[in-house]
Amino acid sequence: MEERVALIAIYPGSFDPLTNGHLDVIERGRKIFDYLIVGVLKNPHKQPLFTSEERKTMIEEAVKPFSNVEVEIFDGLLVNFARQKGCRVILRGLRAISDYEYETQIALINRKMAPELETLFLPTSTEFSYLNSTIVKEIASFGGCVRGLVPPVVERRLKGKFNSRSIPGSSPDF
Protein backbone atom coordinates (compact mmCIF):
# COMPACT_ATOMS: atom_id res chain seq x y z
CA MET A 1 0.00 0.00 0.00
CA GLU A 2 1.31 3.43 -0.98
CA GLU A 3 1.97 5.93 1.77
CA ARG A 4 -0.08 9.09 1.37
CA VAL A 5 1.96 12.25 0.77
CA ALA A 6 0.67 15.44 2.37
CA LEU A 7 -0.95 17.77 -0.13
CA ILE A 8 0.67 21.20 0.27
CA ALA A 9 -0.67 24.29 -1.47
CA ILE A 10 0.54 27.84 -1.67
CA TYR A 11 -1.76 30.87 -1.73
CA PRO A 12 0.44 33.69 -3.08
CA GLY A 13 -0.25 37.40 -3.15
CA SER A 14 0.88 40.82 -2.08
CA PHE A 15 -1.84 41.05 0.63
CA ASP A 16 -1.35 44.81 0.99
CA PRO A 17 -3.36 44.57 3.15
CA LEU A 18 -5.06 41.25 3.89
CA THR A 19 -8.83 41.53 3.38
CA ASN A 20 -11.68 39.36 4.58
CA GLY A 21 -11.89 38.10 0.98
CA HIS A 22 -8.33 36.80 1.26
CA LEU A 23 -9.14 35.32 4.66
CA ASP A 24 -12.18 33.59 3.16
CA VAL A 25 -9.97 31.88 0.56
CA ILE A 26 -7.41 30.93 3.24
CA GLU A 27 -10.06 29.47 5.54
CA ARG A 28 -11.66 27.44 2.77
CA GLY A 29 -8.32 26.41 1.24
CA ARG A 30 -6.99 25.09 4.55
CA LYS A 31 -9.93 22.66 4.62
CA ILE A 32 -9.08 21.33 1.15
CA PHE A 33 -5.32 20.89 1.62
CA ASP A 34 -3.32 19.22 4.35
CA TYR A 35 -1.13 22.28 4.63
CA LEU A 36 -1.49 25.79 3.22
CA ILE A 37 1.34 28.28 2.86
CA VAL A 38 0.32 31.91 2.47
CA GLY A 39 3.13 33.36 0.35
CA VAL A 40 3.60 37.10 0.83
CA LEU A 41 5.23 38.47 -2.30
CA LYS A 42 8.05 40.92 -1.83
CA ASN A 43 7.83 42.76 -5.16
CA PRO A 44 10.60 45.32 -5.82
CA HIS A 45 8.47 46.90 -8.57
CA LYS A 46 5.66 47.95 -6.21
CA GLN A 47 5.50 50.48 -3.40
CA PRO A 48 3.28 48.76 -0.82
CA LEU A 49 1.63 50.56 2.09
CA PHE A 50 2.91 47.88 4.48
CA THR A 51 6.33 46.23 4.45
CA SER A 52 6.46 42.53 3.71
CA GLU A 53 7.25 41.88 7.40
CA GLU A 54 4.23 43.94 8.50
CA ARG A 55 2.00 42.04 6.07
CA LYS A 56 3.37 38.70 7.28
CA THR A 57 2.76 39.65 10.92
CA MET A 58 -0.82 40.75 10.25
CA ILE A 59 -1.62 37.58 8.33
CA GLU A 60 -0.04 35.41 11.04
CA GLU A 61 -2.28 37.03 13.65
CA ALA A 62 -5.37 36.59 11.46
CA VAL A 63 -4.68 32.89 10.78
CA LYS A 64 -3.52 32.01 14.30
CA PRO A 65 -6.53 29.69 14.85
CA PHE A 66 -5.59 27.61 11.78
CA SER A 67 -2.97 25.02 12.73
CA ASN A 68 -2.28 23.96 9.13
CA VAL A 69 -1.56 27.46 7.76
CA GLU A 70 1.90 29.01 7.62
CA VAL A 71 2.89 32.47 6.35
CA GLU A 72 6.16 33.10 4.51
CA ILE A 73 7.68 35.96 2.54
CA PHE A 74 9.10 35.21 -0.89
CA ASP A 75 10.51 37.03 -3.87
CA GLY A 76 11.31 35.92 -7.37
CA LEU A 77 9.32 33.37 -9.33
CA LEU A 78 6.38 31.73 -7.60
CA VAL A 79 7.14 28.38 -9.22
CA ASN A 80 10.62 28.36 -7.67
CA PHE A 81 9.20 29.15 -4.23
CA ALA A 82 6.52 26.46 -4.64
CA ARG A 83 9.13 23.86 -5.60
CA GLN A 84 11.34 24.88 -2.68
CA LYS A 85 8.41 24.35 -0.28
CA GLY A 86 7.29 21.06 -1.79
CA CYS A 87 3.97 22.48 -2.98
CA ARG A 88 1.98 20.70 -5.64
CA VAL A 89 -0.85 23.22 -5.95
CA ILE A 90 -1.08 26.99 -6.37
CA LEU A 91 -4.33 28.30 -4.90
CA ARG A 92 -5.76 31.46 -6.44
CA GLY A 93 -8.88 33.34 -5.38
CA LEU A 94 -11.24 34.76 -7.99
CA ARG A 95 -13.69 37.63 -7.58
CA ALA A 96 -14.88 38.29 -11.12
CA ILE A 97 -14.49 37.29 -14.77
CA SER A 98 -11.73 39.88 -15.14
CA ASP A 99 -9.74 38.02 -12.44
CA TYR A 100 -10.25 34.76 -14.34
CA GLU A 101 -8.70 36.11 -17.56
CA TYR A 102 -5.61 37.44 -15.79
CA GLU A 103 -5.22 34.43 -13.49
CA THR A 104 -5.56 31.99 -16.40
CA GLN A 105 -2.65 33.69 -18.19
CA ILE A 106 -0.51 33.42 -15.05
CA ALA A 107 -1.54 29.77 -14.51
CA LEU A 108 -0.58 28.87 -18.08
CA ILE A 109 2.82 30.54 -17.77
CA ASN A 110 3.39 28.78 -14.44
CA ARG A 111 2.43 25.45 -16.01
CA LYS A 112 4.90 26.06 -18.85
CA MET A 113 7.69 26.69 -16.32
CA ALA A 114 6.63 24.00 -13.83
CA PRO A 115 4.35 21.34 -15.35
CA GLU A 116 4.28 19.44 -12.04
CA LEU A 117 2.34 22.28 -10.38
CA GLU A 118 -1.42 22.64 -10.70
CA THR A 119 -3.37 25.86 -10.20
CA LEU A 120 -6.71 25.71 -8.44
CA PHE A 121 -9.09 28.66 -8.76
CA LEU A 122 -11.37 29.18 -5.77
CA PRO A 123 -14.13 31.75 -6.20
CA THR A 124 -14.43 34.02 -3.19
CA SER A 125 -17.66 33.96 -1.25
CA THR A 126 -20.30 36.30 -2.66
CA GLU A 127 -20.14 38.72 0.27
CA PHE A 128 -16.50 39.49 -0.58
CA SER A 129 -16.72 39.53 -4.39
CA TYR A 130 -16.42 43.34 -4.57
CA LEU A 131 -13.51 43.59 -2.15
CA ASN A 132 -9.86 44.25 -2.91
CA SER A 133 -6.87 45.73 -1.10
CA THR A 134 -6.80 48.89 -3.22
CA ILE A 135 -10.39 49.77 -2.28
CA VAL A 136 -9.68 49.10 1.40
CA LYS A 137 -6.61 51.37 1.37
CA GLU A 138 -8.56 54.14 -0.36
CA ILE A 139 -11.42 53.97 2.15
CA ALA A 140 -8.97 54.00 5.07
CA SER A 141 -6.95 56.87 3.58
CA PHE A 142 -10.07 59.06 3.62
CA GLY A 143 -10.96 58.12 7.18
CA GLY A 144 -13.71 55.67 6.23
CA CYS A 145 -14.71 52.62 8.22
CA VAL A 146 -13.10 49.35 7.10
CA ARG A 147 -14.66 47.21 9.84
CA GLY A 148 -16.02 44.02 8.29
CA LEU A 149 -13.76 44.40 5.23
CA VAL A 150 -10.53 43.36 6.94
CA PRO A 151 -9.54 41.36 10.04
CA PRO A 152 -9.32 43.43 13.26
CA VAL A 153 -5.49 43.41 13.23
CA VAL A 154 -5.50 45.00 9.77
CA GLU A 155 -8.13 47.53 10.80
CA ARG A 156 -5.89 48.64 13.69
CA ARG A 157 -2.80 48.85 11.47
CA LEU A 158 -4.64 50.85 8.80
CA LYS A 159 -5.85 53.26 11.46
CA GLY A 160 -2.25 53.68 12.63
CA LYS A 161 -0.98 54.28 9.08
CA PHE A 162 -3.63 56.85 8.19
CA ASN A 163 -4.38 58.42 11.59
CA SER A 164 -1.83 61.16 11.05
CA ARG A 165 -3.32 61.84 7.60
CA SER A 166 -6.95 62.26 8.66
CA ILE A 167 -8.97 64.77 6.73
CA PRO A 168 -10.24 67.79 8.71
CA GLY A 169 -13.95 67.44 9.35
CA SER A 170 -14.02 63.74 8.52
CA SER A 171 -15.10 61.15 11.03
CA PRO A 172 -12.70 58.21 11.12
CA ASP A 173 -15.24 55.63 12.19
CA PHE A 174 -12.85 52.73 12.55
d(CA 97, CA 77): 25
Helix, coil or strand: residue 139? helix
Q: What are the Cα distances from residue 82, in Å, to 4, 25, 160?
A: 20, 18, 33
Q: Which of 22, 56, 137, 157 is catalytic?
A: 22
Annotated catalytic, 46?
Answer: yes
Q: What are the Cα distances from residue 151, in Å, to 13, 60, 62, 101, 146?
A: 17, 11, 6, 28, 9
Q: Which of 30, 52, 55, 133 is catalytic?
A: 133
d(CA 65, CA 83): 26
Q: Which of 28, 42, 88, 95 is catalytic?
A: 95
d(CA 94, CA 19): 13
Q: Which of 4, 31, 45, 46 is catalytic?
A: 46
Annotated catalytic, 45?
Answer: no
Annotated catalytic, 171?
Answer: no
Q: What are the Cα distances from residue 50, in Å, to 14, 88, 160?
A: 10, 29, 11
d(CA 143, CA 116): 46
Q: Please list the active-site residues.
A: 22, 46, 95, 133
